[in-house]
Amino acid sequence: MNFAELVAASAEVGSTRSRKAKTETLASVLQRLEPDEIEPAVAWLAGELRQGRIGTGWRTLMGAEGVPASEPTLTVAAVEAVFEELAGLSGAGSVLRRRELLDGLFALATADERAFVIRLLTGDLRQGALLGVMTEAVAAAAGLPIEPVRRAYMLSGVLPTTAAAALRGGLAELAEFRLEVGRAVQPMLASPAESLADALAELGGDVSVEFKLDGARIQVHRNGDEVRIFTRSLREITSTVPELVSLVRSLPCSSVVLDGETLALTDAGRPRPFQETMSRFGADEGDSILLPYFFDCLHLDGKDLLDEPLEVRLEALKVAAPDNRIPSVQRPSPEEAAGQLDAAMSGGHEGVMVKALDGPYAAGRRGKSWQKVKPVHTIDLVVLGAEWGYGRRTGYLSNLHLGARDPNGGEPIMVGKTFKGMTDKLLAWQTEEFPKYERSRDDHTVYLRPEIVVEIELDGVQTSRRYPGGVALRFARVLRYRPDKDAGQADTIDTLRALLVR
């Protein structure tokens, strides 16, 4: 396929708010691709490179000048070949070769194609929010129902691979995706419940009511002595959490996949701040000790359990990790369930999860069979920009512009601003970190690529004429940043609108 067609389709997807129009445009591109072009094209349309980052900063790119081509001649395959070579470069001569490759590519590219390549290589096109729409487009293009595509995506964790399988091999090839010990799957998510009583009323009595610990999600894979640990967004963190690795290695089983939450505790046994847990997911090993609290078992000793009801998975969990389970009660009376919520809150935790005991592990989407009950209302929003502070905050990036996710895969929709809840340390961090995501700036504000997710505590929302989504936050304050989430996992404008009616 001509690269120009893909570039035009990407622009078209970006310029409409309609989910249907986006899906149709994407599906029509997918149908016209050569088999080898499917994977790169799906990645690019979501603003990603299959090769990850390929070391071409702004500076290198801006050096590539000259008159753009007047006629498009590049193909998707030809552009991918250049990216492949760029990704493989290292050592002596690589700077020169990079320059040559980019110059060669730019000489053949039209102005639109150049702009697309630059935005792709700098991460400016990255659109986690588009993944849901893309999954639907893959199903439509392949003429398949959505469920098998979603399931294969959950099992592979990689949409381009899933798309290639769906389009080239249909249902038969999708069915070949299995849970593979060692390869992360998309985690199952929960829906928010209004209250404990509501969750119990909706799910009936056959539930597990578990502490909702305020740590960070982990997915643990063990095959014999080999252990791998992943975050919520499927990033591998095995090397930074040695204490979890050795604990998992000592569990009484030979192969296992566990889902859980990890956190560090104070000497008094209370949870340490979330930031401390997250910092252990970075490069440094830190000095706090992380403990795992498992709540699900997806595989045990050769048997896949994804399609088994939760009750069976919890039995397996009892066998695999008897001493590292999250506190839970099964089939509680309403009083026992309320007692569980009280116990969680007085232990310094976030709330409880109420889970249907007959539900399979349905990943990737927010289902009703897991419901979270949290007395304090928080939402995850995308940082769109920050204004320079004044007075005591002069020189610091302070007032945040906040956006909710567009469920149809468009740019986040601005819903308010806040400069509340920030410590001096956080202000310093924002000032240092935000310019790395800069899209543009004016005298007052640095505008950012929509990638950073922040958890906001709020009193509610109100209707607004000023903001484009028709809703604005009321008394919003920063609770913490969520480096374990990307913009595709932020809360949607619909979630905020639903708060209007409360």
Ligand X SMILES: Nc1ncnc2c1ncn2[C@@H]1O[C@H](COP(=O)(O)OP(=O)(O)OP(=O)(O)O)[C@@H](O)[C@H]1O
Instruction: Specify whether the CB–CB gap between 293 and 213 falls below 8 A.
Output: yes
For residue 368, which amino acid is it? K
How many other CB atoms are found less than 10 A from the CB of residue 201? 12
Distinct helix (H) and strand (E) counts, the chain:
17, 19
Instruction: Specify whether the CB–CB gap between 382 and 405 falls below 8 A.
Output: yes
For residue 362, which amino acid is it? A
Among 18, 7, 9, 11, CA closest to 409: 18
Would you say 299 or 405 has its CB closer to ligand X? 405
Would you say 16 or 233 has its CB closer to ligand X? 233
Beta bridge partners of 75: 2
For the CB of residue 375, give the shortest distance to ligand X in the complex, in Å: 12
- Concatenated DSSP letters for 100-132? HHHHHHHHH--HHHHHHHHHHHTTTT--GGGHH
The interface mask with ligand X, positions 359-378, x = CB under 6 A, is -------------x------
SS3 content of the chain, % helix, strand, coil (to 5): 40, 25, 35
What is the total count of residues that contact ligand X (CB under 6 A)?
A: 13
Spatial separation of the C-alpha atoms in residues 174 and 142, rounded to whole Å: 11
For the CB of residue 231, give the shortest distance to ligand X in the complex, in Å: 10
Instruction: Please give the positions annotated as active site.
Output: 212
For the CB of residue 132, give the shortest distance to ligand X in the complex, in Å: 15
For the CB of residue 397, give the shortest distance to ligand X in the complex, in Å: 24
Does 280 interact with ligand X (rule: CB under 6 A)? no
Would you say 80 or 380 has its CB closer to ligand X? 380
The interface mask with ligand X, positions 238-277, x = CB under 6 A, is -----------------------x----------------
Spatial separation of the C-alpha atoms in residues 412 and 409, rounded to whole Å: 8
Residue ranges in 168-207 that form contacts with ligand X under rule CB under 6 A: 189-190
User: Considering only residues 29, 213, 257, 493, which one is a binding residue for ligand X as defined by CB under 6 A?
Assistant: 213
Would you say 150 or 372 has its CB closer to ligand X? 372
- CB burial class (10 A; 0-12, 13-18, 19+) of residue 220? buried
Does 217 interact with ligand X (rule: CB under 6 A)? yes
The interface mask with ligand X, positions 1-40, x = CB under 6 A, is ----------------------------------------
Burial track 60-85 (b if 16+ CB lie within 10 A, e otherwise): eeeebeeeebeebebbbeebbebbee
For the CB of residue 210, give the shortest distance to ligand X in the complex, in Å: 4
The interface mask with ligand X, positions 222-241, x = CB under 6 A, is ----------x---------
Instruction: Specify whether the CB–CB gap between 179 and 299 falls below 8 A.
Output: yes
For the CB of residue 454, give the shortest distance to ligand X in the complex, in Å: 11
The interface mask with ligand X, positions 286-305, x = CB under 6 A, is ---------x----------
Which residue reads 């440094």 in tokens?
284
> Given its phi and psi angles, is residue 222 left (phi above 0), alpha (psi -120 to 50 degrees) or beta?
beta
For the CB of residue 317, give the shortest distance to ligand X in the complex, in Å: 11
Among 386, 487, 381, 475, CA closest to 430: 386
Instruction: Specify whether the CB–CB gap between 409 and 126 falls below 8 A.
Output: no
Would you say 122 or 233 has its CB closer to ligand X? 233
- Concatenated DSSP letters for 163-219? HHHHHHHHHHHHTT----TTS--PPPEEEE-S-HHHHHHHH-S-EEEEEE-SSEEEE
User: Considering only residues 241, 290, 326, 383, which one is a binding residue for ligand X as defined by CB under 6 A?
Assistant: 326
Would you say 84 or 206 has its CB closer to ligand X? 206
Does 380 interact with ligand X (rule: CB under 6 A)? yes
Would you say 328 or 431 has its CB closer to ligand X? 328
Residue ranges in 416-455 that form contacts with ligand X under rule CB under 6 A: none
Using the contact rule CB under 6 A, the part of the chain among 85-93, 167-175, 211-219, 357-365 near ligand X is 211-219
Would you say 87 or 343 has its CB closer to ligand X? 343
User: Considering only residues 165, 241, 353, 357, which one is a binding residue for ligand X as defined by CB under 6 A?
Assistant: 353
User: Considering only residues 114, 150, 212, 401, which one is a binding residue for ligand X as defined by CB under 6 A?
Assistant: 212
For the CB of residue 287, give the shortest distance to ligand X in the complex, in Å: 23
Q: Find the distance separating the first CA and the last CA of the chain, reported in whole Å.
A: 50
Residue ranges in 54-113 that form contacts with ligand X under rule CB under 6 A: none
Interaction site with ligand X (CB under 6 A): 189-190, 210, 212-213, 217, 232, 261, 295, 326, 353, 372, 380
